[in-house]
């Protein structure tokens, strides 16, 4: 392989000293990745890694999918860039495709460079449209790294904002394995039902001050939380009663990740605004979307869109998005994700018979997590929430072990997320599960009877 042309030691040196890496202390010297294909990537030493994360849960069609790569090359030959106000065939085609695959009331899309920018505009639009300022968001959430979206984010990274955006009201999560209200039966829990908890917050907040509720229909980064049936419907009805917009952040869960185009399709509940990114083009070129209902789209014919970007509707990004969506349609990717997900969870259930550290298995399609515990009866977490450094062992030990064995896994607190490419082969899935099996022995050692 010809890439990179630099000596790997030099690449690491520059990475450690001159490149700033997301969310991290600097100075690391990571493996230098020289190529990737399908569910695999490899480094300059020739070591191969099975990508059980799909990178940042975006390589939904795996690495270097030939149809997406070709579309980018063809578009680069034709027209690399044209400003957002001009007509462009790939831009219009992607807008039309988005209308086709999003839930019915959604008709129109603004293209961004990623999920943060999509959510940022979603909340600004909700505020302009309603004339209200508050946004309700949940604790177990990640909505982006910009000022507004990191303020919406519930996970500990939000503390880095030092209060960037006022007006965020926090709602509890339908996290039934660890119900925040202590219930064992979601049918009796106001939080897991959705609407009753939201109504109570609104009573205190004054619904006339709330522009929108934003949530991930299936929570991603914060532990793959699948809401009980009826939850989204109940939130939708509560929002409607008070003229509050509902924003679904489908940045991680969208584009087949859960076996449907969008996670909300599992319950046939549609938002007023849907944001997406990542899997739209498997991450090959930066791209995100903010799509709105017909009502909002009509309103935007009279009032200007309150935002814009130099790279809105970038032709290379749009061409890759069109190619990725078409490839998913041609290759039956949603059905594959559903079938592989069912298989994966049934194999995880077998691992749970062997590994007492597995407290919970949850997910839909290829959007899955296992939650690790010190004891199944007490459900004590294997490591505390948001633990770091020494306190995060044995999770960090497992991460190192898996990586050494050639399995790229993703970890959050006491959860391991399992989000391989949607088109991963059965053979690779089995190989990953076999390495996971050995990795979990580390957690079992910390089990307390
Ligand atoms: N929303 C969700 C649910 C995400 O998972 C992410 C990224 O992980 C974002 C928003 C932010 O997207 P981006 O990193 O493309 O700005």
Q: Residue 220 domain-assigned?
A: yes
User: How far, in Å, are 157, 269, 271 from residue 27 at the CA level?
Assistant: 20, 45, 42
- Which protein residues touch ligand 1 with a CB less than 6 Å away? 56, 114-116, 119, 142-144, 216, 220-221, 249, 251-252, 277, 288
Distance CA 362, CA 178 (A): 13
CATH number (domain holding residue 430): 3.90.1150.10
Query: Are residues 229 and 279 part of one domain?
Result: yes
Contact partners, residue 325, CB within 8 Å, separation at least 6: 94, 97, 101, 255, 280
What mean pLDDT do residues 271-298 have? 98
Contact partners, residue 316, CB within 8 Å, separation at least 6: 72, 75, 76, 80, 81, 285
Backbone angles phi, psi at 389, to 5 degrees: 45, -125
- Give the chain's domain count: 2
CA of 1 to the centre of ligand 1 (A): 32
Confidence class of residue 184 from pLDDT cuts 50, 70 and 90? Answer: confident
Query: Which of 303, 331, 359 is a domain's end point?
Result: 331
Confidence class of residue 449 from pLDDT cuts 50, 70 and 90? Answer: confident
Query: Are residues 149 and 59 part of one domain?
Result: no
Looking at the CA of residue 221, tell me the nearest atom of ligand 1.
5
Among all chains, which residue has been given the structure tokens 């990953």?
Answer: 432
CA of 151 to the centre of ligand 1 (A): 13
Query: Which of 331, 362, 379 is a domain's end point?
Result: 331
Query: Are residues 136 and 207 part of one domain?
Result: yes
Query: Are residues 58 and 99 part of one domain?
Result: no
Residue range(s) defining the domain that contains residue 426: 31-64+333-444
Distance CA 190, CA 152 (A): 22
Q: Give the count of alpha carbons within 13 A of 89, CB side only.
A: 7
CA of 115 to the centre of ligand 1 (A): 5
Query: Are residues 275 and 152 part of one domain?
Result: yes
Report CA 294 to chain centroid distance, whole Å: 25
Contact partners, residue 278, CB within 8 Å, separation at least 6: 56, 57, 58, 60, 115, 251, 252, 254, 255
* Tens-digit pLDDT profile for residues 385-407: 989 888 999 999 999 999 999 99
Residue burial 109-134, b: 16+ Cβ < 10 Å; e: rest? bbbbbbbbbbbbbbbbbbbbbbebeb
Q: Residue 19 domain-assigned?
A: no
Query: Are residues 346 and 243 part of one domain?
Result: no
CA of 340 to the centre of ligand 1 (A): 24
User: pTM score > 0.95 for this model?
Assistant: yes
Q: Residue 424 domain-assigned?
A: yes
What mean pLDDT do residues 45-50 have? 98
Looking at the CA of residue 286, tell me the nearest atom of ligand 1.
15
Query: Are residues 359 and 279 part of one domain?
Result: no
What mean pLDDT do residues 59-73 have? 98
Backbone angles phi, psi at 131, to 5 degrees: 70, 15
Query: Are residues 74 and 37 part of one domain?
Result: no
Q: Residue 24 domain-assigned?
A: no
Beta bridge partners of 71: none
* Tens-digit pLDDT profile for residues 209-249: 999 999 999 999 999 999 999 999 999 999 999 999 999 99
Q: Residue 14 domain-assigned?
A: no
Looking at the CA of residue 149, tell me the nearest atom of ligand 1.
10
Q: Residue 22 domain-assigned?
A: no
Cβ neighbours, 10 Å, residue 40: 19
Average pLDDT of every residue of the chain: 96
Is pLDDT of 4 > 60? no
Query: Are residues 301 and 421 part of one domain?
Result: no
Q: What's the confidence (pLDDT) of residue 388? A: 87
* Tens-digit pLDDT profile for residues 102-150: 999 999 999 999 999 999 999 999 999 999 999 999 999 999 999 999 9
Query: Are residues 112 and 87 part of one domain?
Result: yes
Confidence class of residue 164 from pLDDT cuts 50, 70 and 90? Answer: confident
What mean pLDDT do residues 372-382 have? 96
User: How far, in Å, are 167, 199, 270, 436 from residue 238 at the CA level?
Assistant: 19, 7, 13, 42
* SS3 per-residue string spanning the chain: CCCCCCCHHHHHHHHHHHCCCCCCCCCCCCCCEEEEEECEEEECCCCEEEECCHHHHCCCCCECCHHHHHHHHHHHHHCCCCCCCCCCHHHHHHHHHHHHHCCCCEEEEEEECCHHHHHHHHHHHHHHHHCCCEEEEECCCCCCCCHHHHHHCCCHHHHHHCCCCCCEEEECCCCHHHCCCCCCCHHHCHHHHCHHHHHHHHHHHCHHHEEEEEECCCECCCCCECCCCCHHHHHHHHHHHHCCEEEEECCCCCCCCCCCCCHHHHCCCCCCEEEECHHHCCCCCCCEEEEEEHHHHHHCCCCCCCCCCCCCCCHHHHHHHHHHHHHHHHHCHHHHHHHHHHHHHHHHHHHHHHCCCEEEEEEECCEEEEEEECCCCCCCECCCCCCCHHHHCCHHHHHHHHHHCCEECEEECCEEEECCCCCCCHHHHHHHHHHHHHHHHHHHCCCCC
The two tokens of residue 444 are 């079992």
Q: Give this complex's ipTM.
A: 0.99
CA of 116 to the centre of ligand 1 (A): 6
* Tens-digit pLDDT profile for residues 313-324: 999 999 999 999
CATH number (domain holding residue 81): 3.40.640.10
User: Of 144, 219, 220, 367, which is best to mutate to test ligand 1, by the most ligand atoms within 8 angstroms of its C-beta?
Assistant: 144
Query: Which of 293, 316, 331 is a domain's end point?
Result: 331
Query: Are residues 366 and 268 part of one domain?
Result: no
What mean pLDDT do residues 409-414 have? 96
Is pLDDT of 8 > 60? yes
CA of 376 to the centre of ligand 1 (A): 32
Atom 13 of ligand 1, residue of closest alpha carbon: 115
Is the bond into 409 cis (omega within 30 degrees of 0)? no
Among 203, 186, 224, CA closest to 57: 224
Query: Are residues 359 and 281 part of one domain?
Result: no
Antiparallel, parallel or unpaired: β 168-171 and 210-215:
unpaired
Q: Residue 370 domain-assigned?
A: yes
Q: Residue 12 domain-assigned?
A: no
Looking at the CA of residue 56, tell me the nearest atom of ligand 1.
8
* Tens-digit pLDDT profile for residues 24-35: 999 999 999 999
């Amino acid at each position: 392989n010809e890439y990179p042309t630099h000596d790997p030691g030099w690449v690491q040196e520059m990475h450690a000293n001159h490149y700033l890496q997301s969310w991290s202390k600097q100075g690391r010297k990571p493996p230098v990745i020289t190529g990737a294909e399908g569910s695999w990537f490899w480094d300059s030493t020739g070591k191969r890694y099975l990508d059980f994360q799909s990178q940042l849960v975006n390589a939904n069609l795996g690495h270097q999918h030939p149809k997406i790569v070709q579309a980018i090359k063809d578009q680069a030959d034709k027209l690399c860039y044209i400003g957002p106000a001009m007509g462009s065939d790939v831009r219009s085609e992607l807008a039309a495709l988005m209308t086709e695959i999003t839930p019915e009331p959604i008709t129109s899309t603004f293209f961004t460079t990623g999920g943060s920018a999509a959510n940022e505009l979603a909340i600004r639009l909700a505020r302009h449209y309603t004339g209200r300022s508050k946004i309700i968001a949940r604790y177990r959430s990640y909505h982006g790294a910009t000022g507004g979206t990191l303020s919406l984010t519930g996970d500990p990274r939000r503390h880095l904002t030092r209060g960037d955006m006022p007006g965020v009201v926090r709602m509890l999560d339908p996290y039934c394995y660890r119900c925040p209200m202590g219930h064992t039966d979601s049918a009796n829990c106001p939080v897991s039902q959705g609407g009753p908890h939201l109504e109570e917050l609104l009573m205190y907040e004054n619904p006339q001050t709330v522009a929108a509720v934003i949530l991930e229909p299936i929570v991603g980064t914060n532990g793959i939380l699948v809401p009980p049936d009826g939850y989204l419907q109940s939130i939708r009805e509560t929002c409607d009663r008070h003229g509050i917009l509902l924003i679904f952040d489908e940045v991680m869960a969208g584009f087949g990740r859960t076996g449907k185009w969008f996670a909300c399709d599992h319950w046939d509940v549609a938002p007023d605004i849907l944001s997406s990114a990542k899997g739209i083009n498997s991450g090959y070129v930066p791209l995100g979307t903010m799509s709105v209902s017909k009502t909002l789209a009509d309103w935007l014919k009279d009032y200007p869109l309150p935002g814009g970007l130099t790279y809105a509707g970038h032709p290379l990004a749009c061409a890759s998005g069109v190619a990725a969506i078409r490839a998913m349609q041609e290759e039956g990717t949603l059905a594959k994700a559903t079938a592989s997900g069912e298989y994966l969870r049934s194999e995880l259930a077998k691992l749970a018979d062997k590994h007492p550290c597995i407290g919970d298995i949850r997910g839909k399609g290829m959007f899955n997590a296992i939650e690790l515990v010190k004891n199944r009866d007490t459900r004590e977490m294997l490591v505390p929430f948001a633990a770091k450094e020494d306190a995060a062992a044995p999770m960090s030990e497992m991460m190192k072990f898996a990586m050494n064995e050639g399995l790229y896994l993703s970890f959050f607190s006491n959860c391991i997320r399992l989000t391989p490419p949607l088109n991963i082969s059965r053979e690779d899935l089995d190989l990953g599960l076999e390495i996971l099996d050995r990795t979990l022995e580390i957690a079992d050692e910390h089990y307390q009877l």
